[in-house]
Structure 1
Amino acid sequence: MSSDNNISIRVEDLGKCYQIYPNPATRLKQAVTNRLNGAIGRTPPKYFSEFWALRDIGFEVPRGEAFGVIGRNGSGKSTLLQLITGVLTPTQGSVQTRGRIAALLELGSGFNPEFSGRENVYLNGMLLGLSRAEIDARFDGIAAFADIGEHLERPIKTYSSGMLVRLAFAVQVQIDPDILIIDEALAVGDALFQKRCFARINRLADDGVTILFVSHDQETVRTVTRRSLLLHEGRAVAMGTSSETLRAYRRLINNEESKYFASLAERHIVVEGIDPGDGGNDVKLPDSVMPSEDALPPDGDVPVADQLQAGAVEVVDASTIDDTSFGSGYALVQRVVTLDESGEQCAVFYPGEKVRIEIDFKALVDLKNLNVSLRIRNREGLKVYSWGTLNQDMQVAAGLKDAPVFWERSFAKGEDARAFFEFVCPLGPGFYEIQAAISHEGQPDYSDQTILHWKDEAAFFQVFMDQKSYHFGGSFDLRMSATW
């Protein structure tokens, strides 16, 4: 354990259990039974089932650190934050915090809808321990940050969700908190307000304020926080740097998606003498789930979804390859290299030079409707750009480009293939990572995507600058010119 003086939040063996009753009468029966059995010293019977919203959670957040909490809906994120803020009492374990806590949890929590915005500012400030004089001194700053104009004098029941979060955030950050807790609320704000909020969060962190941040936006979590905790079904399944934890989160989502499609297969596949799990090729599908003739590829191959449902192929779980991979494994990224304009391997470029990225992959089953894509991230892990063959296919469909449609190509089981991506380097000096992915797209518009193989750290390159002949500042070259 770290020194107590340096720890803002300490959570030990934390758990929250709810008693679930089938109806109100049973709850009353339990209360009466508890009282009667307690009077005679006996253990009462249980007429309820237990639901552990959170169990066996433990971590520490040092002073001044930005710490993220991520997970799917229902994973226990909000319960954890409510336990830390004292809104809920734990069933087991303990929470220790040091300093004043400002929390932006459920939208509008702590506000009286009949009071005006001004009255709610004073009400919340006093609940947070400020005197009226202290609120008076901070009021102009709160009003300026919220920027809701004359609505400040109107009942907040007339506010939009965006106005509500503006006022709530403005109050919380102006009370000089030692710990700031934010649970998804900023998602309803407009882009300009979010920019101001994150700038304020960064300044608070620089001033030594501890940030506990929950969001479904993975890039925001990666940018705002240094470490993160991944929750799933009430338990901690990963904790580490935000990049590592987000990788585990993406892998978890992919596994859940695979289980979902497997459950659909179990409910719909009719097996004639063969267990779908034994890899046999004679599994028959009922007519209701067989593809129409129009849905078959030109060569008559069965679409990948039906091959997978039939259990007719053996594939690799991409998450077992290494800790940078995840996906169902029906196709694998084999190599990613960066090339210069002449086609030679190169890992150093200058702004204005052509960059060519080659992605080699293998189909492990008969495939169609694929998308080969990449993402470029900078040294800080921020997504700089993402693009794929499907993006170009969509341009072709819209009549903006004349090119073959990659989405319509078919790949045979065991086939090796590759795709090239080219661009003129607009990037500022720095170190960049390439992530590569192969996905199956049920529709040619990103609306029905299944990741077959996603690979982080697939390749790296650097951008240098000629300080004397071609110089600019910042992350991107806007190709600016001047006239006079």
Structure 2
Amino acid sequence: MSDIAISLKNVSKCYKRYARPVDRLKEILLPRRSHVQEFWALQDINLEINRGETLGIIGQNGSGKSTLLQIIAGTLMPTTGEVGVNGRVSALLELGSGFNPEFTGRQNVFFNGRILGLSQLEIADKFDDIEAFAEIGDFIDQPVKTYSSGMAVRLAFAVIAHTEPTILIVDEALAVGDAKFQARCMKRIRHLKEQGVTILFVSHDSSSVKMLCQRAALMNHGRILEIGNPKDVVNHYIALLSSDKTQVDAKEINSAGREDFISRDPEKLLHRHGNNLAIIKDVKITHADGSEAKTKIETGTGFNIVILIEAQAELSDIVIGISIRNLLGVVVYGTNSFLKRVKLTKVNKGEKITARFKMPCYLNRGTYTVTVGIHSEEGLSYDWVDELVVFEVYNIDGCEGIVDMDCSLEINTDRIVNV
């Protein structure tokens, strides 16, 4: 059996667009004169996904993610190229995908199960689990056209998650569910991952991509810009959102007079991007009294993140932000001057700014990183450096989890004493 679950070779997808409906007729009657406009949704996609691998796909709206997933799922044919899929595919590509709105939820469960390759008896055996997972109550016996978008996606995911797929494709449809449902879906996806299911996961939640996926692919304008470590790919995606560049070269970090205060070795530079209208010159962590903390902080104490910035132009809309992450890339806390309602007045070229984020340390023991960014109120990146400070938290009391909730405990007993 091949170790490759999905293989795409030079896959492209072209859509024909006509300015007016009559142009389509003119092209049939006058074939020598073209009235068509070609739009290439995908261009020369080459991708191999190993069996049991979880691949995250990220990119801006219109980058070609959904088209790619539809081609892999078999609901769309490529214009050119070869597609190889080895295994049973279950796909949640859009709300209520594959559901007949006139039929009840119960009927759609059986119809979809048969389409996905299960027998009537197998579906019947799994139906109670599907119904319990969806949690739509009596609506299971109502027409799907009466469902809310959240109910439709609940039932759709419940079906695909219980049909024993070897390849699971999940688009951004899960975002419509409530927090409880999303948590249940993520738990189910992790369970399928542990069972060796190949998973394609599309999400705008970068933390989920970094936690769940072994690799990530960044798409832009129908092409794959990069495939690699999820953290690096997500960082490049963030850079893409705030810049007109399609790729960010780490070796360009020192350009435009920026001084790297982290490392002089260009191979060890952290991911950085921005237009250089303001520059992060230094970042350090201090204790509450202002003394430098070096790299260790104790749970329950106060600490500061101090940032030195130099304006390279006259600016009036600087927003300064921080993000604290654990080693899995999960953001445990983030804020900025806009959210804290601290408005910076006009800053002159060459002027230096010191921002001091003061906070108590409720983090539990572990290693954490600090990402710092400065941007305009419209989101234009001036300077952004990923995970540039690493610090360790120690906790002499000890507890489990990411944070120390400073829990107190009371125990009361009601004992009858015989006299």
TM-score calculated relative to the size of structure 1: 0.77
Check the 8 A contact 1:317/1:326 in 2, yes or no.
no
C-alpha displacement of 1:323: 5.8
1:376 to 321, 324, 331: 324
C-alpha displacement of 1:388: 2.2
1:332 to 279, 284, 291: 279
Q: CA separation of 1:57/1:257 partners in 2, compared to 1, >3 Å: closer, same or farther?
A: closer
C-alpha distance in 1 between matches for 2:283 and 2:400? 29
Alignment deviations for residues 372-418 of structure 1 (CA, whole Å, 9 cap, x no partner):
2100000000001002233332xxxxxxxxxxxx4143322011221
Q: Structure 1 residue 351 and structure 2 residue 299: aligned? A: yes
Q: Structure 1 residue 204 and structure 2 residue 201: aligned? A: no
Q: Secondary structure at the match of 1:367?
A: coil
C-alpha displacement of 1:25: 3.3
Residue 366 (structure 2) aligns with:
430
Q: Structure 1 residue 13 and structure 2 residue 10: aligned? A: yes
Q: Structure 1 residue 416 and structure 2 residue 404: aligned? A: no
Check the 8 A contact 2:284/2:292 in 1, yes or no.
no
**Unmatched runs of 5 consecutive residues or more in structure 1:** 35-43, 259-314, 394-405, 442-447
Q: Which amino acid aligns with 2:237?
A: Y
C-alpha distance in 2 between matches for 1:346 and 1:408? 28
C-alpha distance in 2 between matches for 1:372 and 1:477? 27
C-alpha distance in 1 between matches for 2:24 and 2:315? 55
Residue 314 (structure 2) aligns with:
366
Q: Which amino acid aligns with 1:78?
A: S
Q: Which amino acid aligns with 1:220?
A: S
Residue 86 (structure 1) aligns with:
74
C-alpha distance in 2 between matches for 1:471 and 1:87? 52
Check the 8 A contact 2:59/2:218 in 1, yes or no.
yes
Runs of 4+ in structure 1 over 6 Å off: none
By percentage of residues, which structure has more helix?
1
1:31 to 24, 28, 31: 28
Query: Where do 1:294-305 residues align within 5 Å?
Result: none
Check the 8 A contact 1:428/1:475 in 2, yes or no.
yes
Residue 477 (structure 1) aligns with:
404
C-alpha distance in 2 between matches for 1:459 and 1:77? 33
Q: Which amino acid aligns with 2:332?
A: V
1:389 to 322, 337, 341: 337
Q: Secondary structure at the match of 1:130?
A: coil
Alignment deviations for residues 87-114 of structure 1 (CA, whole Å, 9 cap, x no partner):
1111111111111000001211211111
Q: Which has the larger radius of gyration?
A: 1
C-alpha distance in 1 between matches for 2:33 and 2:271? 50
Q: Secondary structure at the match of 2:307?
A: strand
Check the 8 A contact 1:368/1:407 in 2, yes or no.
no
C-alpha displacement of 1:475: 0.9
Q: CA separation of 1:413/1:138 partners in 2, compared to 1, >3 Å: closer, same or farther?
A: same
C-alpha distance in 2 between matches for 1:211 and 1:93? 22
C-alpha displacement of 1:17: 1.0
Q: Secondary structure at the match of 1:216?
A: coil
Residue 252 (structure 2) aligns with:
none
- Matched residue count: 394
Q: Structure 1 residue 145 and structure 2 residue 124: aligned? A: no
Residue 460 (structure 1) aligns with:
390
Q: Which amino acid aligns with 1:477?
A: D
Alignment deviations for residues 247-279 of structure 1 (CA, whole Å, 9 cap, x no partner):
111111112499xxxxxxxxxxxxxxxxxxxxx
State, as a whole percentage, how many aligned pairs show the same letter. Answer: 41
Q: Which amino acid aligns with 1:431?
A: T
Residue 164 (structure 1) aligns with:
152
Query: Where do 1:396-411 residues align within 5 Å?
Result: 406-411=342-347
Q: CA separation of 1:14/1:464 partners in 2, compared to 1, >3 Å: closer, same or farther?
A: same
Task: Give the alignment's Cα RMSD to 1 decimal.
Answer: 2.2
C-alpha distance in 2 between matches for 1:112 and 1:159? 12
Q: Which amino acid aligns with 1:471?
A: G
TM-score calculated relative to the size of structure 2: 0.89
After the TM superposition, which of the residue ranges 234-243 and 167-176 deviates more from structure 2?
A: 234-243
**Unmatched runs of 5 consecutive residues or more in structure 2:** 247-254, 261-265, 412-419
Alignment deviations for residues 104-151 of structure 1 (CA, whole Å, 9 cap, x no partner):
012112111110000000000011111100111110110000011100
Q: Which amino acid aligns with 1:413?
A: K
